[in-house]
Amino acid sequence: MSDVREWQVICRVDDIPVLGARRVARPGQTEVAVFRNAENNVFALLDRCPHKGGPLSQGIVFGESVACPLHNWTIGLADGCAKSPDEGCVQRFAVKVDGGDVMLDRTELEGAGERHALHDEHVG
């Protein structure tokens, strides 16, 4: 079985504020937060802190981490895991940047492979 991804353009890198996020809505499911750090690296996590479900897209981005706005847990953007002494991880999503376009894997977003239109909204 090959690892073929079906990339979908979500936005442009410049559409994501530096040290901020853009939220991608998935109908009937929790949103995905797409983050941009100061080095213009882009990451995508489920928009739900593993602690109490806080909206990570509303957190403060620093380095390769985001601070949850509810209880200040630090979540790694690359792996989705809370930094010690906190514990827990949130789902992360594959991201590809090509020519300034930010893309997420449609299959990953849709889970069971159902086709839904994706909508995004600017946060930050």
Position 17 scores a pLDDT of 96
| Segments forming the whole domain that contains residue 96 | 7-115
Position 25 scores a pLDDT of 83
Decide if 84 is inside a domain.
Answer: yes
Position 29 scores a pLDDT of 74
Q: Block means of pLDDT (10 residues each) for the chain, length 124 residues?
A: 78 96 82 96 96 95 96 96 95 96 89 40 44
Position 115 scores a pLDDT of 35
Decide if 2 is inside a domain.
Answer: no
Alpha-carbon radius of gyration of the chain: 14
Position 30 scores a pLDDT of 73
Give φ, ψ of 78 to 5 degrees.
Answer: -75, -35
Decide if 47 is inside a domain.
Answer: yes
Decide if 121 is inside a domain.
Answer: no
Position 64 scores a pLDDT of 97
d(CA 12, CA 120): 12
CATH of the domain at 14: 2.102.10.10
Decide if 19 is inside a domain.
Answer: yes
Decide if 111 is inside a domain.
Answer: yes
Decide if 1 is inside a domain.
Answer: no
pLDDT in tens, 29-47: 779 999 999 999 999 999 9
DSSP string of the chain? Answer: ------EEEEEEGGGSPTTEEEEEEETTEEEEEEEE-TT--EEEEESS-TTT---GGGSEEETTEEE-TTT--EEETTT-BBPTTS--B--EE-EEEETTEEEEEHHHHHTTT-----EEEEE-
Position 5 scores a pLDDT of 87
Position 3 scores a pLDDT of 60
Decide if 122 is inside a domain.
Answer: no
The tally of domains found in the chain comes to 1
